[in-house]
Amino acid sequence: MTIFQTEEMPLLALRGLVVFPEMMLHFDVGRNKSIRALDEAMSGDQRIFLVAQKDVSVDDPTETQLYKVGVVARVRQVLRLPNDTLRIMVEGEYRSKIVQYTQTEPYFRAQVRRCAVQHITDNLQETAKNFAQFLKERNFEMSQGHLWLKIPLCSDETALEK
């Protein structure tokens, strides 16, 4: 199992949105705390940790009002709109989990650790093998996409001859 190092970066709380790895999404940023976190990301490597807040009606969430797992994203584009709002486009890179908050004012910063990824194909192949063995042990057979239960008509083949 791979152990990933922690990395510290600005955090942006999302209201009513979730970003996944390899997903491109644009949304508006208007809260002062979020704009400052975004400015910090843009002055560095343009990466930011995006995490959903638990209650969308809260305007200034605390650490306990944010989920622990989010996505590290790269900011691809920033447009300044006339009403002091930013429209940004991000690309999710990988899932991460908050290890600890390192700053809460004037914006959130956190140490995050990349989440290990289990490839679904590996899990699916293992599940299929286990299922095939399960069926075989219970006298089932797969044929042409159909599942058949093999039930002997007689317990002794000689009974058919009589």
pLDDT value for 19: 93
Residues 81 and 28 sit within 8 Å (Cβ to Cβ): yes
Ranges assigned E (strand) in the chain: 6-14, 24-29, 47-52, 69-80, 86-103, 108-114, 140-143, 146-149
Of residues 88 and 123, more confidence is placed in 88
Burial 49-74 (b: 16+ CB within 10 A, else e): bbbbbeeeeeeebeeeebeeebbbbe
The reported pTM is: 0.71
Residues paired with residue 73 on neighbouring β-strands, in sequence order:
48, 92
pLDDT value for 160: 45
pLDDT tens, position by position, 98-152? 999 999 999 999 999 998 876 656 667 777 777 777 766 766 665 555 555 555 5
Calculate the CA 114 to chain-centre distance: 11
Residue with tokens 């075989």, as numbered in its chain: 136
| Spatial CA neighbour of 51 closest among 27, 15, 25 | 15
pLDDT value for 150: 56
Q: Residue 42, SS3?
A: helix
- Mean residue pLDDT of the chain comes to 84
pLDDT value for 41: 97
Residue 80 confidence class, pLDDT cut points 50, 70, 90: very high
Residue 116 DSSP class: P
pLDDT value for 162: 45
Dist. CA 23–CA 46, nearest whole Å: 16
Radius of gyration of the chain (CA): 26
